[in-house]
Chain A
Amino acid sequence: MTPPGGCWLVADAGLALHGWSMATVAVVAASCGLVGSLLVVRRMSLLGDAIAHAVLPGIVVGVLVGGRLGGPLVFAGAVAAALLTVWLTRTLHAAVGLAEDAGAGVVFTTLFAAGVVLVTLVAARVDLDPECVLFGVLELAAFDLVSVAGIAVPRAFLSAAAVLAAVAVLLGATWRWQVFTAFDPAAARAAGLPVTTVTTLLLTAVAAATVTGFEAVGAVLVVAMLVVPAATAELLVHRMHQVAAVAVGVAVAAGCLGWLAAWAANTSAAGMIAVVLGAIYAAAVVFAPTDGLVARAARAASLAWRVAREDWLARIWRAEEAAGQAAAGAGGVPRPRPRSVLERAAAAWLRLTGRVSDRRGTVRLSAAGAREAETVVRSHRLWEAWLGRHAELPIDHLHPPAEWVEHHLGAAMRERIESEMAAGEVDPHGREIPPEMPSPGGGPPSGSSR
């Protein structure tokens, strides 16, 4: 039976039933998010996609045999269809050499097509509309109530809650095994874990979550609810149990928000939930603390800024070193020309913060500025020394690589390089290498002009 207005819409059936519908969506989303976290980490997202489609014929057969939408027979049919999908894909791979994702593509489209044809053929006998299989019949759930301790509760909510409980218990009990197998199936097998059983358990959980999701949001969007929350979580946190928790949270939030949005915009709940999921994922891509686009851009900018500052300080330091005593007398060295806009800005900043004093075209480093510059030059010359010793490079090739390595050499690495050099050793150009803790007043003049 197609509800009024087609099976697209959020039925206008009163607030109490709205609440229950939203609760059902939340419970379904939680199951999908939890199961999806393992699926995504195991690189089985497309298998999840395949199962989400392929359960259709199983569900239809279950409905035919059981006589109603929902109930254990439907679940059994779905699980059977899920396992059949996996088995067929693996067999095609073993028998014919067909790659896994091509095989999955062949199998699930075929099964889904068979399911749709089945639904069309038996539409008269069963309460399934061929189009509704794609979008879910959550809207119908509002009309199918059971009485639990005196409260009228939609049957769909009860079955979804039961599935969530079962999935949570099943996966929770085997959690460590699931995680180990997810990260390294070969090692898990070698360690004696029952990898096949673990995987079958996971697939059963996927099938169960898919069935409830299927009722709520239809075939294709179960895919979104399985994969997007976990993918979002992976961008934000890095430990497996955190990923699962965040995935569940994201899924539930998207489910509720999407439902409300669909009600407000008078459109399909399934569609809006997927849109909300997409929006949350996009936000994570852009704003995630370490991996987000904004964070990365900020890091790159900060690095470029530091490099510009250090380059400017180092140039002045080298000029002072070359001029030697004359610099002290003249109050500094002539101001170099900035090589880029960034360097110009860095020069202005350094002047503002007092690292560089700039008077009538003559610049001089303050003590703090000199300290910072010396660290950079020290890194530069240590690297030149190291390269000169370990690589077959002529002397004039040492400067360019040192120019960019000087910004990345940390104190620990400098110490290691120095430890393999003799005391008082100079860089390949014959210039002295500034010590780690600068002595007051810089080093004595030496060597050639650089």
Chain B
Amino acid sequence: MIGPATLAAMVVPVGVPVGVLVVLAAYTPVAGLSYNTLVVLAGVAAVGFAAGLTGTLAVLRKRPLAGDAAAHATLLGVGGMFLATGRRDLPTLLAGALVAAVAALLVLVFLRRFTRTRDDAATAIVIGVSFGAGLAVVAGITARGLPGSGGLAQFLLGHTAALTARDAVVLTAASLAAVALLAAGFKEAVMVAFDADFARAAGWPVGLIDAAVVTLVAVMVVVGLPAAGAVLVTALVVIPPVAARQWTDRVGTMFLLAGTIGLAAAVAGVAASTLRPGLATGPLVVLSAAAICAVSVVFAPRRGWLGRRWREATLAGRWARGRLLEECLALADGGGGAFDSRLVRDRAGGDTAAARRRLRRAWDGLVWQAAVQPAAGGLWMLSSAGLAEARERHRRIAAWRAVLDAGLEGARDRFSLDLPPPDDPPATGAQSGSAPAAFPAGGGGP
């Protein structure tokens, strides 16, 4: 039942950060960094990777800020644990943080189910009150000058400089465990995130799976505390998946990409914090992630903003060119006649100044590409290349009209202003007998 695919899916996500660690460790002398720093860096890398992965699940579930409530409650856990045990080593404090995170999530569930308070208000209440309680505890501890209390403030905004190699190992182990768990239950988690009703009807324990996902997020929030601090750790969980979505439409790739972005952001943030003593790491990690996200949002090829604007602009330009050719053909009496360029442009449309400018530019393009050439008397005529192009366009428009009128399968969403050939055989190589009039994929619309 556990075939090679499953095994690979479980090993690869864990292998990536482990590989990073091994490589880093191997090159210690060359990197010029101390062993301690390298281990910490590797630990932070693992945390960033795991946080990005887990965050993808949270974002896909459409509840990206559930982790925020858990994150703000961790301060209370840290302070409480210190009060209770008097110890301030990282694993102990993080254990307290985990307890508080889970408790905050349970309170959130309780508020959602048993009170009339709206969901978003309930989240904000848990965030504010738990953080305040944590603040009261930690401030009280600091005021009384209890021994060892000085480091508690680091959990607010993150401070990796104080991490020991042993701490880093703990964080790394926790991160890798989380990743392995996610890899094991990957298909169930994605299915539930996509369509919970179907999963429930098919007999899956949706409530249980959901709870497991939420617990995983809580664990990652706690593990991310040293790197990013309570206030900002949700950014490490939310921003990488948002950035990753821009680059891919496949869920597995999105997960891995988010993990990688999280890893990069974490490492960059920590590295930047070494530039100046006393700089908190959290804000720098977040800014790194945000930078990657901004680049993704603007520059990603298909979903990015720039690409869309460019495609829209060039599409409009191509459409203008096509309209001009149509009018040239009409005025040219079947191909050989001459026509006035201004008449052509007027007939092609142009209600707005921008449209008229576009037509002008398209006309200049036609001239430059010798699709039209000057004729006698200040008039123009179509060259053989231009004539061929105009005729092909005419043919396609007629063919599309026929196809759309016949109401053929998926015709309407295959149609685009680019006028792809309507009668090509399916491009994916499937046997044509399988489905009538199935149009080739690709050439996706604007």
| Co-complex (A, B) | yes
Given contacts A102-B59, A112-B232, contact A271 B128 (CB under 8 A): no
* B-side contacts of A165, CB under 8 Å: none
- B134 vs chain A, min Cβ distance (A): 7
* B-side contacts of A174, CB under 8 Å: none
In the bound complex, what is the Cα–Cα distance between A226 and B129 (angstroms)?
12
User: In the complex, which of the residues B124, B278, B279 contacts A223, with contact meaning CB atoms closer than 8 Å?
Assistant: B124
- Chain B 237-255 interface mask (CB, 8 Å, partner A; 1/0): 0110010001000000000
- B319 vs chain A, min Cβ distance (A): 22
In the bound complex, what is the Cα–Cα distance between A266 and B239 (angstroms)?
38
Q: Does B283 sit at the interface, judged by CB under 8 A? A: yes
Q: Does A49 sit at the interface, judged by CB under 8 A? A: yes
User: Which of A103-111, A142-150, A381-389 is the interface stretch?
Assistant: A103-111
| Central interface residue in B64, B139, B308, by most chain A CB within 10 Å | B139
Q: Is B231's CB under 8 angstroms from A267's CB?
A: no
Q: Is B284's CB under 8 angstroms from A234's CB?
A: no
Residue of A nearest to B284 (CB): A117
* A-side contacts of B326, CB under 8 Å: none
- A446 vs chain B, min Cβ distance (A): 48
| Central interface residue in B121, B131, B305, by most chain A CB within 10 Å | B121
Chain A, interface residues (CB within 8 Å), range:
35 or more
User: In the complex, which of the residues B125, B127, B139, B143 contacts A231, with contact meaning CB atoms closer than 8 Å?
Assistant: B125
Q: Is B123's CB under 8 angstroms from A45's CB?
A: yes
* B-side contacts of A272, CB under 8 Å: 132, 136
Q: Does B161 sit at the interface, judged by CB under 8 A? A: no
Within B111-140, the residues touching A (CB, 8 Å) are 111, 114-118, 120-125, 127-129, 131-140
Q: Is B231's CB under 8 angstroms from A224's CB?
A: no
* A-side contacts of B128, CB under 8 Å: 220-221, 223-225, 227-228, 274, 277
Given contacts A106-B290, A114-B287, A275-B129, contact A101 B135 (CB under 8 A): no
Within A72-124, the residues touching B (CB, 8 Å) are 92, 95-99, 101-103, 105-106, 109-110, 112-114, 116-117, 120
Q: Does B303 sit at the interface, judged by CB under 8 A? A: yes
Q: Does A9 sit at the interface, judged by CB under 8 A? A: yes
Q: Is B136's CB under 8 angstroms from A113's CB?
A: no
Q: Is B286's CB under 8 angstroms from A131's CB?
A: no
- Chain A 262-291 interface mask (CB, 8 Å, partner B; 1/0): 100111101111110110010001000001
Q: Does B209 sit at the interface, judged by CB under 8 A? A: no
Q: Is A40's CB under 8 angstroms from B121's CB?
A: yes
Q: Is B239's CB under 8 angstroms from A109's CB?
A: yes
* A-side contacts of B283, CB under 8 Å: 112-114, 116-117, 120
Q: Is A268's CB under 8 angstroms from B135's CB?
A: yes
Given contacts A228-B128, A267-B136, contact A101 B232 (CB under 8 A): no
In the bound complex, what is the Cα–Cα distance between A43 and B114 (angstroms)?
18
Given contacts A95-B305, A268-B135, contact A277 B129 (CB under 8 A): yes
In the bound complex, what is the Cα–Cα distance between A339 and B131 (angstroms)?
50
Q: Does A235 sit at the interface, judged by CB under 8 A? A: yes
| Central interface residue in A92, A101, A103, by most chain B CB within 10 Å | A101
* B-side contacts of A6, CB under 8 Å: 139, 142-143
Given contacts A8-B142, A113-B286, A224-B128, contact A96 B135 (CB under 8 A): no
Residue of A nearest to B269 (CB): A113
In the bound complex, what is the Cα–Cα distance between A281 and B128 (angstroms)?
12
Q: Does A46 sit at the interface, judged by CB under 8 A? A: yes
* A-side contacts of B290, CB under 8 Å: 106, 109-110, 113
Q: Is B132's CB under 8 angstroms from A106's CB?
A: no
Q: Is A106's CB under 8 angstroms from B235's CB?
A: yes
Q: Does A134 sit at the interface, judged by CB under 8 A? A: yes
Q: Is B286's CB under 8 angstroms from A231's CB?
A: no
In the bound complex, what is the Cα–Cα distance between A262 and B135 (angstroms)?
11
Q: Is A224's CB under 8 angstroms from B287's CB?
A: no
| Central interface residue in B133, B246, B283, B287, by most chain A CB within 10 Å | B283
Q: Does A70 sit at the interface, judged by CB under 8 A? A: no
Q: Is A231's CB under 8 angstroms from B59's CB?
A: no
Q: Is B280's CB under 8 angstroms from A120's CB?
A: yes
* A-side contacts of B64, CB under 8 Å: 99, 101-102, 105
Within A223-243, the residues touching B (CB, 8 Å) are 223-228, 230-231, 234-235
User: In the complex, which of the residues A5, A227, A278 contacts B132, with contact meaning CB atoms closer than 8 Å?
Assistant: A278
Given contacts A106-B293, A235-B116, A275-B136, contact A116 B143 (CB under 8 A): no
Q: Does B323 sit at the interface, judged by CB under 8 A? A: no
Given contacts A106-B238, A131-B156, A271-B135, contact A46 B124 (CB under 8 A): yes
Q: Does B166 sit at the interface, judged by CB under 8 A? A: no
Q: Is B132's CB under 8 angstroms from A221's CB?
A: yes
Q: Is B235's CB under 8 angstroms from A105's CB?
A: yes
Residue of A nearest to B135 (CB): A271
Q: Is A221's CB under 8 angstroms from B135's CB?
A: yes
User: In the complex, which of the residues B124, B131, B305 contacts A48, with contact meaning CB atoms closer than 8 Å?
Assistant: B124
Q: Is A112's CB under 8 angstroms from B143's CB?
A: no
- Chain A 11-44 interface mask (CB, 8 Å, partner B; 1/0): 0000000000000000000000000000010011
Given contacts A46-B65, A46-B123, contact A113 B235 (CB under 8 A): yes
In the bound complex, what is the Cα–Cα distance between A227 and B65 (angstroms)?
16
Q: Does B321 sit at the interface, judged by CB under 8 A? A: no
Given contacts A8-B142, A110-B290, contact A105 B132 (CB under 8 A): no
* A-side contacts of B393, CB under 8 Å: none
- A448 vs chain B, min Cβ distance (A): 43
Q: Is B235's CB under 8 angstroms from A99's CB?
A: no
In the bound complex, what is the Cα–Cα distance between A135 and B136 (angstroms)?
10
Q: Is B238's CB under 8 angstroms from A271's CB?
A: no
* A-side contacts of B139, CB under 8 Å: 6, 8-9, 135, 267-268, 271
* A-side contacts of B120, CB under 8 Å: 43-46, 101
Within A300-342, the residues touching B (CB, 8 Å) are none
Q: Does A64 sit at the interface, judged by CB under 8 A? A: no
Q: Does A130 sit at the interface, judged by CB under 8 A? A: yes
Q: Is B114's CB under 8 angstroms from A267's CB?
A: no
- A135 vs chain B, min Cβ distance (A): 6
Given contacts A5-B143, A102-B238, A265-B140, contact A231 B131 (CB under 8 A): no
Q: Does B218 sit at the interface, judged by CB under 8 A? A: no
| Central interface residue in A5, A49, A130, A227, by most chain B CB within 10 Å | A227
Q: Is A274's CB under 8 angstroms from B153's CB?
A: no
Residue of B nearest to A267 (CB): B140
Residue of B nearest to A279 (CB): B129
Q: Does A168 sit at the interface, judged by CB under 8 A? A: no
Q: Does A126 sit at the interface, judged by CB under 8 A? A: no
Q: Does B297 sit at the interface, judged by CB under 8 A? A: yes
Residue of B nearest to A296 (CB): B114
* B-side contacts of A9, CB under 8 Å: 139, 143
Q: Does B88 sit at the interface, judged by CB under 8 A? A: no
Residue of B nearest to A130 (CB): B280
Q: Does B234 sit at the interface, judged by CB under 8 A? A: yes
Residue of B nearest to A218 (CB): B135
Q: Is A40's CB under 8 angstroms from B118's CB?
A: yes
Q: Is B134's CB under 8 angstroms from A271's CB?
A: yes
Q: Does A193 sit at the interface, judged by CB under 8 A? A: no
Q: Does A426 sit at the interface, judged by CB under 8 A? A: no
Q: Is B234's CB under 8 angstroms from A109's CB?
A: yes
Q: Is B143's CB under 8 angstroms from A8's CB?
A: yes
| Central interface residue in A92, A223, A235, A277, by most chain B CB within 10 Å | A223
10 intermolecular pairs with C-beta atoms under 8 Å apart:
A5-B143, A96-B297, A101-B120, A105-B238, A109-B234, A112-B283, A120-B279, A120-B280, A131-B153, A291-B115
Interface residues, chain A, with chain B CB atoms under 8 Å away: 5-6, 8-9, 40, 43-46, 48-49, 53, 92, 95-99, 101-103, 105-106, 109-110, 112-114, 116-117, 120, 130-131, 134-135, 219-221, 223-228, 230-231, 234-235, 262, 265-268, 270-275, 277-278, 281, 285, 291, 293
The 9 closest A-B CB pairs, nearest first, are A274-B132, A224-B128, A271-B136, A278-B129, A271-B135, A268-B139, A109-B235, A267-B140, A113-B283
Interface residues, chain B, with chain A CB atoms under 8 Å away: 59, 62, 64-65, 68, 72, 111, 114-118, 120-125, 127-129, 131-140, 142-144, 153, 156-157, 231-232, 234-235, 238-239, 242, 246, 278-280, 282-284, 286-287, 290, 293, 297, 303, 305, 308
